[in-house]
Amino acid sequence: MKNFTFRQLKLLEAVARNSSFTRASEELHLTQPAVSIQIKQLEEEVGMPLFEHMGKKIFLTAAGREMYVFSRTIAQQFTDIRAVLEDMKGIQHGKLDIAVTSTAKYFAPYLLAAFCKQHAGITVNLNVTNRETILRQLMDNIPDMAIMGGPPKEMPLIADSFMSNPLVVIAPSGHPLAHSGRIPLHRLLEESFIVRERGSGTRNAIERFLEQHGQTMTTTMEMSGNEAIKHAVMAGLGLGIVSVHTLEMEFKLGRLVLLNVEGFPILKDWYIVHREGKRFSAAAQAFKEFVLQEGNKLIKIPEPNDG
């Protein structure tokens, strides 16, 4: 077997992790043919196929799985080297890779803006995606850390809470329940709801809450984003349950109202999450400390406009 390059191993790792040549090429800012050529050359160096195609899907061969394990180990060592060098440069010249859930995007930029004012030389990469993707990325050691709801306890992750995340019931301003007093839970559940997709942190919290109260919800629609849910509620398609952090503009414009419901708000927390044993750069360590110390002070919970 001849020599193969770290670049080829990096491409192998990206293709295997994404289960796609296309997604790997997009992640690495390369063309798909360039990635395919490099993988083909790597297979020629190894002397065995590393991927097999079944329909439109690709899978690692036995040799590919062995190479993938080594490629991840080598990639981690290079990440550690970069972290050491960033420490030597000092906090003002570091790089920060942060992933946030789609709900956290409403306040995370304000945290980053306040942090960057104190550390102007730091370069930030912010990735907004869904909970399942973030958990997968954390396990693959891609971001430095993530801002999200609490991760599953069985995963090797460290999660520190830094701010409350109340889930509230919203209705269009002209809804019959809009000006009611305390609404019994059983009365609320006579209504139809637009909810987040299964697997989202918000959906999981709602289902746990209803299970604890022995209740079920009539779902008319599932949507994968808070913006879509809010617009559907404003259109009169049903009620919604969302994080109060997503509602500042709608409250200011008077387009949505918060219902006073028995058992609500459902209280959750926001967490800053990273892999166990993660070796932080000086910039990443400073950001985590900043969020834990200042996050709850910087972000204000929006309030409905009663006027």
* Residue 122 main-chain phi, psi, to 5 deg: -80, 135
Q: What is the pLDDT of residue 288?
A: 95
Q: What is the pLDDT of residue 307?
A: 44
Q: What is the pLDDT of residue 238?
A: 93
N-term to C-term CA, the chain: 75
Domains in the chain, CATH or no CATH each: 6-84 (1.10.10.10), 91-162+269-298 (3.40.190.10), 164-268 (3.40.190.10)
CA atoms within 13 A on the CB side of 152: 12
Q: What is the pLDDT of residue 73?
A: 83
Q: Other C-beta atoms within 10 Å of 65: how many?
A: 12
Q: Strands 145-148 and 95-101: what pairing?
A: parallel
Please list the rounded mean pLDDT of every run of 10 residues in the chain (307 residues).
Answer: 77 89 89 91 90 88 89 79 66 82 92 90 90 91 92 93 94 90 92 89 90 86 90 94 92 91 93 92 90 87 63
Helix, strand or coil, per DSSP, at residue 235? coil
CA–CA separation, 151 vs 155, rounded Å?
A: 7
Q: What is the pLDDT of residue 211?
A: 92
The pTM is what? Answer: 0.69
